[in-house]
Amino acid sequence: MRAQNPIDEQQGVNRVNAQWLTGPNRSHTRFGELPVFKEGLYRLGGRCYAWMVPNGSWGETNIGLIDCGGKSVLIDTCWDLKFTREMLDGASPIIKSSPIEYVVNTHSDGDHCWGNQLFPDREIIASNACIHHMHHTTPTSMRALGISCSLLKSLPDSDIQKFGHYMSHMIKPYDFSHIKIVPANQGFTGQKTVSVNGVEIILTEVGPAHTDGDTIVYVPSQGVVYAADILFIHATPVVWAGPVEKIIASLNLLLGFKADVFVPGHGPLSSRHDIQLLIDYWTFIQDELYLRFQRDMTPYEAARDVVMSHSFQQSPFAGWDSPERIVTNAFNLYRQWGAKLPSLPGNLGILNIMKQQAKLAFELPNATPRIMRRPD
């Protein structure tokens, strides 16, 4: 079979060779976009595989699979049971001969661990910080949010309408019913090496960064790294925990690995060029947002001003999925810089930020996924 390249060469990135094996025959992504790479199972060379989901937007999560010759290690599960089962069906020829014995959760976001219940009696490994935060959002709250946001779309307040549209379309492809949060049952701090039938797998805790408990997975003998949400490729990254310096340090750590293939949490397979571009993004927005922070702009005002600026519009970042995520990044950076911001407790605070993020999204009609910023 001729190797399928999951990265469009016209996007100006280095090629990453991987062989597409199988996958669902869909003409569009979950959000109605044309896919920039084929969905499904890729052989990365040797014993490593990845289930890749275009185009890397909300919940379009990449999953790793390592065949250790009679036993397999799964890296993350999906946001719902339907898509987790679809992934397992696609990988069934491998899993049949090498059943999944271990699951690694790279962090606590639901789109990386809410399929855990399909692996009863398996050893599920995550950092202790990840385990501590696995209940921070529940499937029940996500179902309630979807229902509420569908109703909000009909209210007269324009910003509330936009928030309702944005969030309801974010959730729409997923079914959060019948999900039971099953946290990892084996925790670690710092670094842990797992050896399965002679295949050494190194887990390195790099959080707090994207979240409080991020882990990257390195398979030295195969030259493959599963970087999870430390890496967003052709999709705007987001920081929920921070500090951003830890994300940049994690990206530099990736560059130090003897690896040829890096599997991001979202987006196409990546090369060192992509990692450096992500470092450039974080450096750029830190510098630009800090200038506006010093001018007493609010996080929203600063984020909007940066995205609308000529320098941003002429950068490669302008073409990335979901550029409005800079709003969340601005709020977290402002806190990092000591700003005293009005805040609501827990998830209410996150939803307040998402409301402002939705407002900016509707000012970016050409950004993707379009359905989230296109009025009904």
Give the 3-state secondary structure of residue 54.
Answer: coil
Nearest 5°: the CA angle 361, 84, 152 is: 35
Mark whether 206 and 100 lie in a shared domain: yes
Residue 222 per-residue DSSP state: G
Q: Which of 243, 276, 309 is the last residue of a domain?
A: 276
Mark whether 223 and 323 lie in a shared domain: no
Alpha carbon distance, N-terminus to C-terminus of the chain: 43
Give domain status of residue 154, yes or no: yes
The radius of gyration of the chain's CA atoms, rounded to the nearest angstrom, is 20
If we measure between CA atoms, which residue out of 115, 125, 48, 47 comes closest to residue 87?
115
Mark whether 307 and 362 lie in a shared domain: yes
124-175 confidence digits (pLDDT tens): 999 999 999 999 899 999 999 999 998 887 787 789 999 999 999 999 999 9
Alpha carbon 172 to its chain centroid, in Å, reads: 17
What does the block give as tokens for 147? 């229902």
Mark whether 295 and 219 lie in a shared domain: no
pTM over 0.75: yes
If we measure between CA atoms, which residue out of 70, 181, 167, 64 comes closest to residue 117?
181
Q: Which residue has the tokens 């049949």?
A: 96
Mark whether 50 and 190 lie in a shared domain: yes
What pLDDT sits at residue 184? 98
Q: Is residue 1 scored above 80 in pLDDT?
A: no
Give domain status of residue 89, yes or no: yes
Mark whether 197 and 73 lie in a shared domain: yes
Give domain status of residue 3, yes or no: no
What does the block give as tokens for 62? 């990449």
The span from the CA of 195 to the CA of 10, in Å, is: 39
245-283 confidence digits (pLDDT tens): 999 999 999 999 999 999 999 999 999 999 999 999 999
Strands laid side by side in the 40-45 sheet: 19-22, 40-45, 48-52, 63-67, 72-75, 100-104, 123-127, 186-188
202-231 confidence digits (pLDDT tens): 999 999 999 999 999 999 999 999 999 999
Least confident of 40-44, 144-148, 328-332: 144-148
- The answer to whether 47 and 199 have CB atoms below 8 angstroms apart is yes
338: left (phi over 0), alpha (psi -120 to 50) or beta: left
Give domain status of residue 97, yes or no: yes
267: left (phi over 0), alpha (psi -120 to 50) or beta: left
Distances, alpha carbon 320 to alpha carbons 43, 274, 281, 299, 326, in Å: 26, 12, 11, 21, 12
Give domain status of residue 2, yes or no: no
Average pLDDT of the segment spanning 303-319: 97
CB-CB neighbours of 121 under 10 Å: 5
198: left (phi over 0), alpha (psi -120 to 50) or beta: left
What pLDDT sits at residue 96? 97
Give domain status of residue 4, yes or no: no
Mark whether 188 and 67 lie in a shared domain: yes
Helices (H) and strands (E) in the chain, counts: 11, 13
Mark whether 101 and 76 lie in a shared domain: yes
If we measure between CA atoms, which residue out of 135, 265, 130 comes closest to residue 206?
130
Contacts of 267 (CB under 8 A, 6+ apart): 55, 56, 62, 231, 232, 233, 234, 235, 321
CATH number reported for the structural domain that contains residue 59 in this entry? 3.60.15.10
> DSSP readout, 113-169?
TTTGGGSTTSEEEEEHHHHHTTTSS-HHHHHHHHHHHHHHTTSS-HHHHHHHHHHHH
The span from the CA of 231 to the CA of 32, in Å, is: 23
Mark whether 187 and 57 lie in a shared domain: yes
The span from the CA of 133 to the CA of 33, in Å, is: 32
Q: Which of 276, 309, 327 is the last residue of a domain?
A: 276
Q: Which residues pair with 81 in a beta bridge?
A: none
- The answer to whether 272 and 264 have CB atoms below 8 angstroms apart is no
What band does 342 get if pLDDT is binned at 50, 70 and 90? confident
Mark whether 238 and 308 lie in a shared domain: no
Burial class (CB in 10 A: 0-12, 13-18, 19+), 223: middle
Give domain status of residue 20, yes or no: yes
Number of domains within the chain = 3
What pLDDT sits at residue 375? 67
Q: Which value, to the nearest 10 degrees, does the dihedral of the CA atoms of residues 111, 117, 123, 127 take?
A: 30
Mark whether 52 and 191 lie in a shared domain: yes
Burial class (CB in 10 A: 0-12, 13-18, 19+), 74: buried
Mark whether 144 and 132 lie in a shared domain: no
What pLDDT sits at residue 73? 98
| Domain membership of residue 143 as a residue range | 139-171
